[in-house]
Structure formats: structure tokens, C-alpha cells
Amino acid sequence: MSALGRLDLSPRAVGLAFSATATAVVIVLLASGGGERLIGAVTTAADRGVVAAGFGLRRVSIEGASREAEPMIQRALQLSAGQPITRLDLTALREDVESVGWVRSAKVIRLLPDTLIVHVVEHDRLAVWQDGRRAWVIDASGQVIPGADARAHAELPLVVGAGAADAAPQILPLLRERPRLSSRLEALVRVDERRWDLRLKDGSVILLPAVGEEAALIQLDAMDQRERLLDLGFSRVDLRTPEAVALRPAGRETAGAAA
């Protein structure tokens, strides 16, 4: 007891003794090859302390994603509730999200104490491209969107044939400017990878030239304004020669000519 009375039990002395003991333990573990176990134990203890302090992941908010893309983004994130939010690598998470075919760009924001916000910008859906028996959703540049289910996008224009995906970004904006025509469209068929046939829902077809598509559509607009051509019914309108537009009325086999 007399020896105990002579010990220095001040906070400073206790702290120094604890540090010395911890250092000795580290030296022993490192010497015995237990360094990795020590680092893992210290990291685990630190993570538990972070979570206990209220900085565990509780909510992930995904903004800007469609219902079709959101499950793929969630799988790419590979997050679980209770992870220490301060240890999340935001750059790596952003890259994981941008690896999803739907996603054009992404931002990942850490909102302390417990929320992660993932804001995504998806590729624009331009059309469904069918080539043979297969179909894909393409974006505004004509590129296939990986993972997109073409069957779920009946609202998109249908472009058909080899080369149709590459040429669609040029023709579809021209057709969107013409709602009377676009509302009647069933499909745009690429012919010899050079030009378009516009197939309408009533079975008629409009043949566009390989060069000067917009001029041909302007010519068609003028005819429609004068004669309500789209309401009259026809089996074929050939716009490949600007000087002589060939019309074939519905039920007629011979073509007439209109200037």
C-alpha cells in the first residue's frame, strides 16, 4: 500500500502509461507478423466509433433516374445500411454509377450525417432501332443504350434496317417538326443505307431522296397544305425526284404525276 501511494496516478501519467503500453503491443504484433490484423482491428474499431457517433449510412437518394435504370444503379453502388459514410469513396462511386449503360453522367454528394445523394443524367432516348429480329433503344447520337429494353418503349419512333441507327439523329428532328406527318408514322425504313422510306399506319409509304431530305419534306408540307394530302389516302408518294412528285392513290396500281 505504501508503494501504491507513491505511484503517480495523475491523468497525464495514466495517458503516458497507456500510450507506452499500446506502443509495446504494436511492436510485439508487428514483430510476430500480426500487423495486418492490428490495422484491421483498429480500422474496425474506428468505423464502429464513427457509426456510433451517428455517421452511419441510412439513406441513399437517387435523383434523375428512370424506373428502368434505378435498379441497375442500386446494384452498381453496392452500398449497405450502416456503412461509415465518411469512408465512402465518392469518386469510385460516381465511376460505378457511370458504368451503367443508361447513365450519361453522375454526381455523388455526401450529406452528413447519414445521407448519400446520387444525381444522374441519363442518355436521351431517341428511337427503337430494329435490325432483323433484334431491337435496341438508341440515344440522341444513334448509339445503343446498354440494358435498355426496347419492348418497354413503344412510345419511341421505330427505325428499321442496317445503318438506320446512325442516320436516325438527322431525320427524326425534321419529322418532329411536322406533327401531322409524325403522328401517322409507323416506321422509318432505311433503304440500302442511303435513304428513307416513311411507312405510315394506314399502309402507305413516302419515299424520300438520298440527298435533300428536308427539301423533300418541305415539298410534302406544301402539298399537304394545298390538298390535305395526308387525309386523302394514297398508297405511295415518291419524293425522290424534286421536279416530279409521283403519287399513287390508294387502290390504284399506276402512278400519276404531280408537279
Per-residue three-class SS string for 55-88: CECCEEEEECCCCCCHHHHHHHHCCCCCCEHHHC
pTM here is 0.71
pLDDT of residue 257: 42
pLDDT in tens, 177-222: 999 999 999 999 999 999 999 999 999 999 999 999 999 999 999 9
Contact 105, 122 (CB under 8 A): no
Q: How many CB atoms lie within 10 A of CB 89?
A: 10
The residue type at 255 = A
Q: Where are the domains of the chain?
A: 8-52, 59-122, 127-258
Residue 136 has pLDDT above 70, yes or no: yes
* Closest listed residue to residue 241, CA positions, set 217, 214, 218, 208: 208
Alpha-carbon gap, residue 185 to 203, rounded angstroms: 10
Assess if CATH 3.40.50 describes domain 127-258: yes
Alpha-carbon gap, residue 20 to 62, rounded angstroms: 48
pLDDT in tens, 214-250: 999 999 999 999 988 888 878 999 999 988 888 888 7
Same topology between domain 59-122 and domain 127-258 = no
Binning pLDDT at 50, 70 and 90, where does residue 96 land? Answer: very high
Q: Give backbone dihedrals phi and psi of 190, rounded to 5 degrees, phi first.
A: -85, 125
Contact 106, 70 (CB under 8 A): no
Fold of 59-122: Ubiquitin-like (UB roll) (3.10.20)
Is 142 or 30 the better-scoring residue by pLDDT? 142
